[in-house]
């Protein structure tokens, strides 16, 4: 007897889930991560040099203690704390900003930046005909305003405090004049403060405005030299908790102004 073998037909049910699975989620996550990295790079390229230094310092030293790049302060521009280690970087950045000014080549011989025990001292000295101020006046001219605005826009990004000083030469006013070198030096320092506070620095960033008349001559051997007439902007160091030993002055150095009480007001000398 012939037996016919039954024909068995096997049907496989296809499913999209088995074919695709969750691979698309991994690809999408990689795409989003790549886009985020791109936006961070673009942001860093357009960020200020202080921010770039702080971000780079974090990846080199996440604790922020080896080179003291960055801080735990919040707010724009506060990731760059001025210490003795990074002072030259600030000086270089300010020089780069000043080079963008219209008449920098004419003014550069009247700008001097030095690192002192107080911080970075920026001095803007006058010429015989006046460089930043009208001659014999506390009124700033165009170059003076542009220079102070440039400084304010850069220094306003820092958490560091500022001191502003005014100095004159020893050329006296007429004995009958009710206005003299003490008034002129103080008025010029205050004029600089007003321009800087209007154009970048915070209202509480200036801790002292001082007028010294001719008591701190730049050239003591030439008391009538025009370069004795100058404005000084001092960017003070910040001493953070635990950093006292690192910021302690060497033997024979003065303590930073920010670490000691303000000096007593100067009393004008009587003119003969």
Residues 31 and 152 in one domain: no
Q: Is 212 part of a structural domain of the chain? A: yes
| CA-to-CA separations, 107 to 98, 103, 147, 198, 200, in angstroms, rounded | 10, 6, 9, 23, 22
| CA-to-CA separations, 122 to 22, 75, 119, 211, 271, in angstroms, rounded | 62, 25, 10, 16, 30
Q: Is 266 part of a structural domain of the chain? A: no
Residues 69 and 138 in one domain: no
The tally of domains found in the chain comes to 2
CB 181 within 8 A of CB 173: yes
Q: Which residue has the higher pLDDT, 231 or 252?
A: 231
Kindly report, residue by residue over 83-104, the tens digit of the pLDDT: 777 777 888 888 888 888 878 8
Kindly report, residue by residue over 197-214, the tens digit of the pLDDT: 999 999 899 999 999 999
Residues 50 and 90 in one domain: no
Band of pLDDT at residue 13, cut at 50, 70 and 90? low
Residues 113 and 52 in one domain: no
Residues 169 and 234 in one domain: yes
The helices-and-strands tally (H runs, E runs) of the chain is 8, 5
Q: Is 149 part of a structural domain of the chain? A: yes
Print the domain residue range for 180: 82-245
Domain of 159, CATH number, reads: 3.30.1330.60
Over 90: is that where the pLDDT of 194 sits? Answer: yes
Q: Is 20 part of a structural domain of the chain? A: no
Whole-number Å distance between alpha carbons of 20 and 18: 6
Band of pLDDT at residue 196, cut at 50, 70 and 90? very high
Q: Which residue has the higher pLDDT, 71 or 82?
A: 82
Band of pLDDT at residue 81, cut at 50, 70 and 90? low
Residues 133 and 217 in one domain: yes
Q: Is 4 part of a structural domain of the chain? A: no
Q: Is 191 part of a structural domain of the chain? A: yes
């Amino acid at each position: 007897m012939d037996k016919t073998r039954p024909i068995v037909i096997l049907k496989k049910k296809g499913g999209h889930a088995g074919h695709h699975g969750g691979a698309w989620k991994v690809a999408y996550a990689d795409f989003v991560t790549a886009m985020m990295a791109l936006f961070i790079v673009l942001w860093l390229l357009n960020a200020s040099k202080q921010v770039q230094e702080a971000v780079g310092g974090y990846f080199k030293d996440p604790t922020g203690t080896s080179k003291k790049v960055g801080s735990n302060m919040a707010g724009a521009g506060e990731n760059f704390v001025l210490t003795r280690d990074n002072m030259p970087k600030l000086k270089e950045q300010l020089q780069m900003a000043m080079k963008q000014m219209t008449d920098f080549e004419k003014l550069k011989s009247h700008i001097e930046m030095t690192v002192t025990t107080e911080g970075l001292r920026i001095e803007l000295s006058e010429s015989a005909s006046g460089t930043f101020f009208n001659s014999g006046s506390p009124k700033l001219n165009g170059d003076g305003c542009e220079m102070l605005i440039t400084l304010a826009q850069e220094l306003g990004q820092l958490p560091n405090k500022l001191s502003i000083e005014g100095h004159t030469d020893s050329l006296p006013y007429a004995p009958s004049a009710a206005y003299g070198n003490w008034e002129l030096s103080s008025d010029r320092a205050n004029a600089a403060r007003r321009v800087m506070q209007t154009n970048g620095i915070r209202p509480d960033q200036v801790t002292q405005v001082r007028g010294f008349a001719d008591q701190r001559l730049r050239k003591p051997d030439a008391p009538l030299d025009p370069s004795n007439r100058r404005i000084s902007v001092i960017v003070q160091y910040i001493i953070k908790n635990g950093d006292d030993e690192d910021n302690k002055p060497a033997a024979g150095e003065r303590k930073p102004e920010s670490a000691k009480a303000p000096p007593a007001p100067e009393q004008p000398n009587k003119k003969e």
